[in-house]
Amino acid sequence: MLNLLTLTGGRAEQLASLEVPAGDLAQIRLILGDNNFLVRDGQRIPLTTPSAQQSGLKLNLDMPLSPGGTYDLVLDFDVDRSIVRAGNSGMFLLRPVLRVVVDALAQLEGRVLPVEASPIPVRLIQQQDTLGTFTNTEGFFTIGGLASGTYRLEVIPNAPFSPFQLEDVRLEQGERKTLDPIFLEVEDN
């Protein structure tokens, strides 16, 4: 069993390691198990996965693999967008929103304080694309697999803290950028 909410702030879990022949890797397919649930107020609520248990999830890669090369593929699971309420029934669906990240791309990391505000949604926006994560219990976040370019960072905490934005976050190919700590202010009423 894997608690996805523990995989924040740059923490990851290795799911597999294997050798594949050189050539073009078009896609991978993940088959989900049937014991998926979320915990709310200490109670397990089953998550229904409409088709992923039978046919699996296809993730397109379209990347060449060189002979003797080593590649780290990271599956970035967007929990916030993957769990959907099924009407007013009190049931929830698991519709995984995944992104496959090749580890050689850029990465942004930072810390949001005070830690009492954690977990906090953190979003990185570039034109129409939005990538997101949550801070861990120490306030750290990491967003990897980023193309080079300029982004806007948004931190959206719960009350009583004010939202925070940082414009013009520039990332270069392969760069691992660490932001200065972000200190949230308490909203004025």
pTM of the model: 0.59
Ramachandran category for residue 8: left, alpha or beta (phi over 0 → left; psi -120 to 50 → alpha): beta
User: What Rg value do the Cα atoms of the chain yield, rounded?
Assistant: 18
Q: Is residue 118 within 8 Å of 135, Cβ to Cβ?
A: yes
Per-residue pLDDT of the chain in tens (189 residues, 90 and over written 9): 677 767 776 677 777 777 778 888 888 888 777 788 888 889 888 888 776 556 778 888 877 777 766 677 777 787 778 888 888 887 888 888 887 766 667 889 999 999 888 889 999 999 888 888 889 889 999 888 788 899 999 999 988 999 999 999 999 877 889 999 999 999 876
SS3 at position 141: strand
Domains and CATH numbers, the chain: 1-11+23-103 (no CATH), 104-189 (2.60.40.1120)
Please give the Cα distance from 72 to 151 (Å, whole number): 24
Tokens of 86: 């099924």
Bridge partners (DSSP) of residue 58 are 29
Cα separation, 135 vs 146, in Å, equals 18
- Using alpha carbons, list the distances in angstroms from residue 140 to 19, 87, 157: 33, 34, 14
Question: Hey, what are 84's tokens?
Answer: 């959907």
